Homo-oligomer: A and B are copies of this chain.
């Protein structure tokens, strides 16, 4: 694999949170970048990016998006941990079956490498080791994690059978600019928005649920490195390496917005593992990557972006 500057890249799911950040960051430092997705969450942020509108469930539309590309970033996810459990068949069809069709399209189009964003927070399930290394047992308690793992395995199979290179980044809880606030994902974005507006926030469980929060610019840096990595490993944890409870997150946001949170409590959800913290030493050793944004800095930058942004 040559240097990043020579690569023609496609970003599937380019209109989403990480995708929007990735498209913007790649632009100017790769030979070409093309975004693909059903919609752009923040269209003006991608004004200068080549864009193909399409549905990941339609194989012809996928194929059109990757023509002439060396590297395909696969950031599409059509479900959340909550929705996947409610309809596991739909989750499997939309994510895994569609990815198999994508991989066939990549073979046909001569793509050299697929970089897939997997889920550091769900593939391990209840962790037996903390922080959790890539070599730990994978025992997801959500269909979301099961289908991500199946995709990882099919990627390995396509490399073995057909030489299609791949890298997987198991990303922890991402946060930062361009994150949408959704009911069961994107807790930092949701809390920040509501607390800035003086609204109540909703907390599932007692607030002790512990996650590994990683700023999106750090993730984007890892995604760039994954496109050109030449080492033996294929799967890398990408997180901060540090655990933070939900209550810690609320307290940190209180400092950023300068006011106390009003909290509405709900019962804990069965899809939440109590703790998830990733061991990120492999990415440090092999990708030469490490996160450089503190949680406080990341929150401040996210809050500043929110203040400038009109909600879509």
Contacts and interface: CB of A to CB of B under 8 A. Distances in A.
Interface of A: 85, 88-89, 92-93, 96-97, 100-101, 135, 137, 139-143, 146, 149-150, 153-154, 156-157, 160-161, 270
A104 to B, nearest CB: 9
Contacts of A270: 160-161
B161 A140 contact: no
Task: Count identical subunits in the complex.
Answer: 2
Contacts of A85: 157, 161
B154 A143 contact: yes
Nearest to A147: B150
26 contacts: A85-B157, A88-B100, A88-B154, A88-B157, A89-B97, A89-B100, A89-B101, A92-B92, A92-B96, A92-B97, A92-B100, A93-B97, A96-B150, A139-B153, A139-B156, A140-B153, A140-B157, A141-B157, A141-B161, A142-B157, A146-B150, A146-B154, A149-B150, A149-B153, A150-B150, A161-B270
A7 B301 CA distance: 62
Contacts of A135: 137
A234 B160 CA distance: 29
